[in-house]
Amino acid sequence: MKVNEIFIAGGLPTVTYNPREDLQLERKLTDFFDIGNKLISVTGPTKTGKTVLCSKLFSNQNLIKISGGSITSEDDFWEAILHDIDAEIYSSSTQNSNSTTEDSAGTGGGLNVGVIKIDLKKGEKESTTTGISKTSTKVTNVKLLALKELLEQKRALLIDDFHYIDSKIQIQIIRALKQPIFNGLKVMVLAVPHRAEDSTRAESEMTGRVAQLQIPFWNETELKDIANKGFKSLNVYCKPTEVELLATESFGSPHLMQEFCYYICINNGITSTVVGPTKELTKTTDEKFFKEIVDTIASKTAFDRLAVGPRQRTDRMKRKLKNGQQVDIYTATLHAIAATGPKTEIVYEDLRSSMRKVLDDSESAPQRHEITRVLKKMDEIAKKEIKGEPVIDWDNENSKLFISDPFFAFYLKWAVNE
């Protein structure tokens, strides 16, 4: 097998699939599916295997998959279903149309004026009618047609990234699905934790009729299982200490673990299963390895937007970091977050301590109200202005900061910390 058929980042793994049996996720999800008559809500941090779990478990259920990121109107949603089902949403009709050609025939005479002769002709017109036109008309109610096809064909519906859909459109979709779900339609929605209640907020009558399954970050044992299965299939050996390091740097994401394992094989010239004796991976992970990968991910955009902070008329006060940079409080806060490790769950006291570490000794640390104000604003920006799942989540009540995107945590460590 080829390496990209074994270590699959962002796709559906086969050899390296890990059902995480200790959590009994497959059993719980299957039970929800079999019981029926409830909307199934699967929630968990980004890139932690929600889509893979559902796709793997229900691959033989005629699953219709809709991506919330592609839905900009309610009709988009229903038309996407009809397209996947391959149902006809246009009806055609044929009409006759007239096209006329004219000829003249008759008698004529002439008039001689000197050397010039002028012919005069008088006649009747004849006309011929030919031609056919075709018209195509769109089905007026794509919603009713989509629901009819789903129920008649007994198809299951998976709505990925439900949180990407505008809240007004969510309401219309959930209201339309409510009765079909009670009639036996299987529907699963996938979302991130802080948007887990979207389906019940969208339709109050769904309260008590939603089955919730939470997918947590992966632990290091689960992540190492990916590497061990894949390396065994490729007939290569990787030192346990290296596998452990890869798991640590994955920040609980199987997506990152798959990517690391793929690149460590490529760096060692392994493109497919080794024939013969097992080959050891000698070119292992180092600082350069992770820095090359961090350059390929898109988290810099999120970092830059958070660093800018909210727009304001006056310049913010600059603070000097230990690395010599002169930055405002927003950039300083991001450096302080990175300097925690970064941890994916940071209490305020740890963040304040980290702030003192990154600031130059000549600088005094910002006051508590200054830091919490910055964190509130960053939380707003992350949720309203940055596309995709918010990379951070500030819990003001409990004074805790969560890094909800493993890729952002990885970026903070290798692009900011360094």
pLDDT per position as a tens digit, 350-360: 999 999 999 99
Please give the pLDDT value at position 124.
46
Residue 143: strand, helix, or coil: helix
Which stretches in the chain have pLDDT values below 50? 104-126
Element (H, E) at 267: helix 254-267
Please give the pLDDT value at position 98.
54
**Are 253 and 215 contacting, i.e. CB atoms less than 8 angstroms apart?**
no
18-24 contacts at long range (C-beta below 8 A, 24 or more positions apart): 18/222, 18/225, 18/226, 18/229, 18/254, 20/49, 20/218, 20/222, 23/216
Buried (b) or exposed (e) across 378-391, using 16+ Cβ within 10 A?
Answer: bbebbbeebebbbb
Ordered DSSP codes for 279-332: EE--S---HHHHHHHHTTSSHHHHHHHHHH-S--SSPPPPEEBTTS-EE-HHHH
Strand 187-191, strand 156-160: pairing: parallel
CATH class of 21-87+138-214: alpha beta
* Distance, CA of 228 to CA of 237 (rounded, Å): 9
* Distance, CA of 33 to CA of 36 (rounded, Å): 5
**Are 219 and 311 contacting, i.e. CB atoms less than 8 angstroms apart?**
no
Domains 21-87+138-214 and 299-416 agree in fold: no
- What is the number of other CB atoms lying within 10 angstroms of the CB of residue 62? 14
* Paired tokens of 249: 């740097």
pTM assigned to the model = 0.79
**For helices 25-35 and 50-57, angle between their N-to-C axes, nearest 10 degrees:** 60
Q: Determine the CATH number of domain 299-416.
A: 1.10.10
* Paired tokens of 135: 């018209």
pLDDT per position as a tens digit, 181-213: 999 999 999 987 656 566 556 556 677 788 999
Identity of residue 239: K
The domain segmentation of the chain, as residue ranges, is: 21-87+138-214, 220-294, 299-416
- What is the number of other CB atoms lying within 10 angstroms of the CB of residue 221? 11
